[in-house]
Structure 1
């Protein structure tokens, strides 16, 4: 008998509850709420203590801080997919006169623009956005801290610029574009720039005493695209499904995959910690799996969203305290708990409905010099190529419809694979980004650059 996909085992549910209970107690959070998503559905929800006298459910809003950046990145990728901009465009092309226009759109998305981490004084998270009405007020007189494109340096003003870019190209405020293009299509009705009841209040917890202080709630104004949003575990669970699978009403699966792909050079400490950054998404390598998502914080709130695409799992953790529970780590732990306790059951193997004879003839072993590789036809109509044993250059390829394929991932992402025919029409070798793959190691008579010694293979006498 198969356990229905929407059910978690009692032991798994208890382990999840124990993890968030420990986080709330040790982190001294006034309240903490979490959700786990599997196979596109919320399969567990838990909370500790109360908001307005009752345990927070999936509809109670919390401020999500920098998770807002992922929403802003979606708006920018939509503009790219529509042809309104290219990620390689300089900001100056679309938003002139900022003083930071030499950075590309991609560099702003990946925090490699060299811009400062924060806006000039006063502390923007705790003061009204009306103090920074113009982009010049956000950037200051010396907006850069590093050369453009040289290193990862997290920048809140960089995402303010991206929000201004959206407004410039859409002709509407950032929040309106977000509502029309992302929130409404995905059904995120409890996500927005202003809190709507029921919502949690933000608190500062004294580090050395069990007492609290209410935190101010400010409209961030120009800085809104970097951290303004309020949301719920219910809405963020749906957003996580979108970030894993895509939704053609908003962004394709290929575009959200691009967001999840590391795009910024990592610093030494980030490499050691197994972290990287994509296009509006953080990347973490933990417990042998790749996790993507984003953390967030503003005075009174911390938030974490983690996704394991391979496990088809995601977790959301929200708390209403300025510091305390490590919600990003807790979200990763919730994913790990379910993945290890109830590993994903693979789809049944089924034969292809049909196979092109010419493609079938390509399947099997090929040799890159003396390295043995295997080419396999995949169920989606593409092919995969990887070492027969051990580690090495391994990639999947999509069919282009003209007898060629384009790499989707790994070393050969974006590279062209084609079968090169002999004069008699038979396949002589594979060409992959100019590398020659033959049916035998350095096959005699094959078109191998540099030629093959005419005396062939030999021993040592």
Structure 2
């Protein structure tokens, strides 16, 4: 990035580290799937941490576990709307669906019963499951967002059952190795930061424990580096390298529930935290464990992302810092839109394009890149994109018509005559009497 941008980014990082008294703080900006900038402040063993120094990720681990679950879904091994009991029978909360566990709407308690799990050695699955009595259900499944570390411990066991191996082994085989995240591990390896608590009223430190969380490990066990987390940030932004289809990652980024319904600035998808900030739509996850804070976010529209890692239990506003790094990068070096160029299209689809009417409301149907259709009202209203399912059949991808089917009705000579979209009939002229319009068209016509 430009020298002036570099200075602004480093200034923001340095201010946070100094003002919030952080033993060490590293951060980076990601663009076009690559590390565009990185910086560090503070010391580890007397030296600046580098991009290969490990920090604990905390709950960013959840996003990787969610990706394993979505791979199972894409393979047809499970359905997100199925109750947990179908694949992991015997729990006290088997009626909660897999999607609800992914989105923290399953009704489960936030923390596992017993001692503070983040600071205590964790037990195995049988011991964990035995502790999850009916009293651990705190809300009606699906009724509200209630963040649950327990739910992700359960999802880790679901992955293990489906794959016939530990969730960590599945993670390494299916995600970490394909993405080149060789320095993401369940325990620190090589150069790493120690976790500290900073005294609130004096400049002294207390070391924090980092036990193995056992069955709760899928909620926050992993350690990683700037380099590896940059690769993961690019993945969340859509550079998936065949680990998942980009459409599946987009589905994970879609809003499943909101945390502040009145304002809707914070929400949750399927394994991703979601933020709306100054017109930006950001997806990723934050993380905290005793001695560590972490965050990764990416703007799904521009592809600009950022990350931050700190070895302190509290102090820095790690999510606000990450948001600010994205904003600084985009404000000082705005992304230029890609040049428009003519593209190769199926010329046979041109006859579908142009003006259509839903009743009296005019819509435009356009061909867009990727061989898709865009159906948008001339003024305000319901707009959606569609992907081909074969001859004259299209699947809605977003907006009001997401998941709905658009079918093309033709005349005897093959001319497109009307569109049937979820029972709504679109015609070339308003209420064309020759089209099969439900309710019919008054014989006396317009008057």
> Would you say same fold, with TM above 0.5?
yes
Q: Report how far residue 140 of structure 1 moved.
A: 4.2
Contact persistence 1:421–1:429 (CA under 8 A): yes
Q: Does 1:216 align with 2:184?
A: no
Q: Does 1:190 align with 2:179?
A: no
Whole-Å separation in 1 of the counterparts to 2:221 and 2:65: 11
Q: Match for 1:144 among 133, 137, 148?
A: 137
Contact persistence 2:253–2:274 (CA under 8 A): yes
Q: Deviations over 1:406-434 (max 9, x none)?
A: 11111111111122113443222111111
Tell me: CA distance 1:121–1:35, structure 2 relative to 1, closer, same or farther (3 Å).
same
Q: Report how far residue 133 of structure 1 moved.
A: 6.1
* 1:1-150 pair list within 5 angstroms: 8-130=1-123, 134-140=127-133, 142-150=135-143
Q: Report how far residue 454 of structure 1 moved.
A: 3.0
Q: Match for 2:366 among 354, 373, 376?
A: 376
Q: Does 1:164 align with 2:157?
A: yes
Contact persistence 1:246–1:252 (CA under 8 A): no
Gaps of 5+ in 1: 1-7
Q: Does 1:409 align with 2:398?
A: yes
* 1:386-397 pair list within 5 angstroms: 386-389=376-379, 391-397=380-386
Q: Deviations over 1:310-352 (max 9, x none)?
A: 1111111111111111111211111121122222222221212
What residue is the counterpart of 1:334 in the other structure? 325
Q: Deviations over 1:136-175 (max 9, x none)?
A: 3552452200111221111111101101111111121121
Whole-Å separation in 1 of the counterparts to 2:414 and 2:170: 54
Q: Does 1:428 align with 2:421?
A: no
Whole-Å separation in 1 of the counterparts to 2:357 and 2:134: 58
Q: Deviations over 1:185-205 (max 9, x none)?
A: 111111010011211111111
Q: Deviations over 1:206-241 (max 9, x none)?
A: 222222211111111110000000011110110111
Three-state SS of the structure 2 residue aligned to 1:295 is strand
Gaps of 5+ in 2: none
What residue is the counterpart of 2:428 in the other structure? 439
Structure 2 length-normalised TM: 0.96
What residue is the counterpart of 1:256 in the other structure? 249
Contact persistence 2:25–2:41 (CA under 8 A): yes
* Count of aligned residue pairs for this structure pair: 447
Whole-Å separation in 2 of the counterparts to 1:15 and 1:94: 50
Whole-Å separation in 2 of the counterparts to 1:24 and 1:412: 47
What residue is the counterpart of 1:180 in the other structure? 173
Whole-Å separation in 2 of the counterparts to 1:140 and 1:11: 57
Three-state SS of the structure 2 residue aligned to 1:430 is strand
What residue is the counterpart of 1:281 in the other structure? 272
Whole-Å separation in 2 of the counterparts to 1:381 and 1:273: 33
Structure 1 length-normalised TM: 0.93
Q: Report how far residue 112 of structure 1 moved.
A: 1.0
What residue is the counterpart of 1:301 in the other structure? 292
What residue is the counterpart of 1:4 in the other structure? none
